[in-house]
Amino acid sequence: MSKRIKHGMCTLCERTTDLSFHHLIPRKLHKRKRFAKQYSKDQLNKGLMLCHLCHKGLHRLYNEMELGTRFNTEQTLRNDETIARHMGWVARQKTRNTLE
């Protein structure tokens, strides 16, 4: 279940649209010993508010293990060339105004 807010600015593409919560360490990995020992509960529950296109793009570009190990901070997401290229594309897309 993802946490949703009505409207706001996406952390990555900075478009104002509907958002969903992206766990920096995917929930599927939280019970694995490696992650449970290495991170506190608060660290496991950290995340970013992302638009649908950014969120969907991250999960299409990388599997959950890669997201949890290589891309578990906002900075590592921003520094990846493949993700940056996708975010650049997303930033140019029109948003739907769902508050009408």
Q: Compute the average pLDDT of residues 8-27.
A: 94
| Maximal C-alpha separation, the chain | 46
User: With 50 as the cut, is the pLDDT of residue 1 above it?
Assistant: no
**Can you give the residue ranges of every domain in the chain?**
4-90
**pLDDT of 7:** 85
Report yes or no: 66 and 60 within 8 Å, Cβ to Cβ. Answer: no
**pLDDT of 6:** 73
Please give the DSSP secondary-structure letter assigned to residue 2: -
- Is pLDDT larger for residue 4 or for residue 42? 42
**pLDDT of 56:** 96
Q: Please report which confidence band the pLDDT of residue 24 belongs to, taking 50, 70 and 90 as the band edges.
A: very high
Q: Compute the average pLDDT of residues 92-100.
A: 69
Per-residue pLDDT tens digits for 37-88: 999 999 999 999 999 999 999 999 999 999 999 999 999 999 999 999 999 9
Residues 75 and 67: their CA atoms lie apart, in Å, by: 13
User: With 90 as the cut, is the pLDDT of residue 91 above it?
Assistant: yes
